[in-house]
Amino acid sequence: MRRSIAFLCCVLFCMVSSAVMANNQNPNLNFGATDFSDPPRHVPGFVLINPITFYSGNLKNGDGDSLPGTNKLSLIAYVPQLCWTANSKLPGDINWGLTVLMPLASLNADSDLGLKAANNIMGDPIFGAFVGRAHQLTRDWTFHWMFEFDTYFPLGDYDKDAAFNTSANYWTFEPFLAMRLEMPYGFELSTRQHYTYNTKNHDYVNPAITHDFNDHTLKAGDLWHFNFSASKSLDFISPLLRFGAVGYYGQQLNNDEVDGNAVPNSKEKVFAIGPCLQYIHIHKGERKPSAIFSLKSYWESNVQNRAEGNRTVFRMVIPF
């Protein structure tokens, strides 16, 4: 039965060029997970970060057009992250530390073309090492930076017969640079710039591209993507309350390759922007935050080879 449905999908894909969609980037990448106060002030010890993401979107092809019929992807994801900052510092007053993330997600696809989401939960665990520090430029201006190198381990659940998975089934290496500028009167700008390099998936099945149901070797193209924010503290209510705009952008730099051959028009692209509200909770008499809460919602546009929709993220940061 599965092969019959897949065969019908293959026929539809071959007959209708607008039905072809690549969507081969690692599904565990950071699109909009971070926002204000990124990078944070590095305080020795542990921090637990708890983002919960709700997403729903319509699938787009390489030209940015919707696939024929109804083709929607929705998900709920929880990606707990544990960060550790060392007590010691590197030369130059530079902080350093380690971080680990464990993506968990539930995917659902509603597709007239028979595209299905895998019935799995575990994504690819991520391990990273970082360095960073804050520079006091003047009394009211502070520049923060953090450089991190992350490795995505292909240990999650992967179903080669599904169009959407929680695991990429390949290694991903991703350095990024996060920068934040604190300014007078509670204004703040921040960005996190990522460069994504992917290795090969040797269990790739996509009849829309290969015109068969055999295993092939996929190498997703390199990707540049970044998060950004502009915000201000709401001092007339509380200096611990912050509001502003957040967004993300992604542009794949080269086409995907299947069996060493470039796949035309397979670059992914996305832009998103929306509002964000953050609250820092500090117990009376203490200076260190006991928790940081943020709620944000993004609306995507200018999308190619992926879903276009709305992403809402609730994030809770708990320092130990």
For residues 125 and 102, the answer to whether their CB atoms sit within 8 Å is yes
- The phi and psi torsions of 15 (rounded to 5 degrees) equal -80, -30
Per residue in 230-239, pLDDT tens? 999 999 999 9
Q: What is the mean pLDDT of the chain?
A: 92
Burial class (CB in 10 A: 0-12, 13-18, 19+), 285: exposed
Per residue in 245-293, pLDDT tens? 999 999 999 999 999 999 999 999 999 999 999 999 998 877 788 899 9
Domains of the chain, residue spans: 2-229+245-274+293-319
Per residue in 176-207, pLDDT tens? 999 999 999 999 999 999 999 999 999 999 88
pLDDT band at 13 (very low <50, low <70, confident <90, very high): very low
